[in-house]
């Protein structure tokens, strides 16, 4: 039995028809065919793990994922879905290419609108050529654009999100971060709450990974010290990006001419990357953000970090109120934001 099999043509036609009639759009049809072909062609890990064709790394991936899932469900209280209980072999080293955009003179994200989930600040493609085509279209319309690779995403428990063979090379920390982050989306997802959803999942990921690594290796282990060093650098980088975001936002909101705004934007971004590189070694503990010294920074990149990390302090304040109990904090967050039109304000009020 193969780990992934071809989906029968008639089934692909059914899936295609569903996406065309229920969700309206060629984009959703194209991505839906890939999504369902991946998921419907897999076999449960309990069966594939018995195959002799599995490499040692794939067998270890299965064991590690099962351990992380068990911790996430039993200790963190995340939903016990079928996600990460199936395996897909793929030749790719990542899952999808994601396009994100913002205006030339705005750090507000460009939004895509979808049925069921509402508005989100990104659009993913299983084929890189499709992502680049969308990116070119957006650039031609005058937007700042980035295309980034993503290793996984959540279908919010609607479908079983699988493991992919390329994850065999992931460190324990990286694999735990991916699984916990995506299960957090399945635990709580607010329609049209793009930034809030990512902030929540990022918070759960950061706190959940730390607790998992402590449970797995011990509170004073080398692995946990590395997680804490990474957390230090994450916090530092997020604060740096937040400051740059606010500085540019102030320029864009000013009464200056567009020409002057563009000149200041170019100057600020050049100075920011130069100063960042000069001070890196005395501020950061790891090489996690070395890439920032060479990447082309634009409004889309700033918008990305704003969407994912934004302000995690209300969640952390709520964690303190729950005496460091992450499972209780997750449960409390779900209760606090339920039915609220502005989940950000609701969580801040609960954290006071």
Which residue stretches of 294-342 are H helix? 299-308, 313-321, 326-337
CA–centroid distance for 141 within its chain: 26
Give CA–CA dist 172/205, Å, rounded: 13
pLDDT over 70, % of the chain: 83
Give CA–CA dist 79/325, Å, rounded: 17
Q: Is the dihedral of CA 224, 204, 98, 247 positive or negative?
A: negative
pLDDT of 274 above 80: yes
Lookup: tokens for 82: 């079928």
Element (H, E) at 219: none
Lowest model confidence (mean pLDDT) among 24-28, 57-61, 91-95, 219-223: 24-28
Q: Which tens digit of pLDDT belongs to each residue from 173-194?
A: 999 999 999 999 999 999 888 7
Q: Which tens digit of pLDDT belongs to each residue from 211-228?
A: 999 999 999 999 999 999
Give CA–CA dist 194/274, Å, rounded: 31
Let me know: does 32 contact 16? Beta carbons within 8 Å.
Answer: yes
Closest CA to 186 of 211, 218, 161, 223: 161
pLDDT of 104 above 90: yes
pLDDT of 114 above 60: yes
Let me know: does 101 contact 143? Beta carbons within 8 Å.
Answer: yes
pLDDT, averaged across the chain? 86
Q: What angle do CA 57, 62, 67 make, to 5 degrees?
A: 125
Q: In whole angstroms, how large is the CA radius of gyration of the chain?
A: 21
Task: Give the mean model confidence (pLDDT) for residues 254-276.
Answer: 95
Q: For the chain, give every domain's residue range.
A: 9-351
Q: HSE (CB half, 13 Å, CA atoms) of 84?
A: 30
Q: Is the dihedral of CA 267, 273, 274, 275 positive or negative?
A: positive
């Amino acid at each position: 039995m193969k780990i992934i099999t071809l989906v029968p043509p008639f089934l692909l036609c059914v899936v295609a028809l569903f996406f065309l009639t229920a969700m309206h759009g060629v984009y959703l049809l194209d991505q839906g065919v890939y999504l369902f072909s991946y998921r419907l062609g897999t076999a449960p890990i309990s069966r594939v793990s018995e195959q002799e064709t599995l490499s040692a790394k794939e067998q270890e991936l299965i064991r590690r994922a099962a351990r992380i899932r068990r911790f996430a469900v039993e200790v963190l209280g995340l939903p016990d879905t079928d996600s990460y209980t199936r395996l897909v072999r793929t030749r790719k080293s990542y899952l999808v290419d994601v396009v994100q955009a913002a205006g030339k003179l705005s750090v507000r994200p460009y939004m895509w609108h979808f049925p069921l989930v509402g508005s989100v600040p990104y659009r993913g493609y299983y084929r890189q050529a499709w992502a680049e085509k969308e990116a070119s279209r957006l650039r031609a319309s005058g937007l700042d654009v980035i295309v980034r690779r993503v290793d996984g995403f959540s279908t919010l428990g609607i479908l079983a999100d699988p493991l992919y063979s390329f994850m065999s090379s992931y460190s324990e920390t990286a694999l735990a971060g991916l699984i916990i982050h995506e299960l957090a989306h399945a635990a709580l997802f607010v329609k049209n709450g793009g930034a809030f959803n990512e902030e929540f999942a990022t918070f759960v990921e950061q706190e959940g990974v730390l607790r998992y690594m402590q449970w797995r290796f011990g509170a004073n282990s080398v692995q946990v010290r590395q997680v804490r060093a990474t957390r230090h650098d994450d916090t530092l980088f997020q604060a740096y990006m937040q400051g740059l975001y606010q500085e540019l936002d102030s320029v864009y909101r000013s009464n200056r001419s567009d020409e002057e705004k563009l000149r200041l934007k170019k100057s600020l971004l050049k100075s920011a990357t130069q100063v960042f590189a000069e001070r890196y070694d005395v501020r950061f503990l790891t090489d996690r953000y070395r890439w920032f010294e060479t990447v082309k920074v634009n409004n889309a990149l700033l918008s990305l970090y704003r969407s994912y990390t934004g302000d995690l302090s209300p969640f952390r304040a709520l964690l303190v109120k729950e005496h460091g109990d992450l499972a209780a904090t997750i449960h409390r967050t779900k209760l606090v934001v339920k039915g609220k039109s502005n989940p950000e304000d609701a969580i801040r009020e609960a954290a006071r």
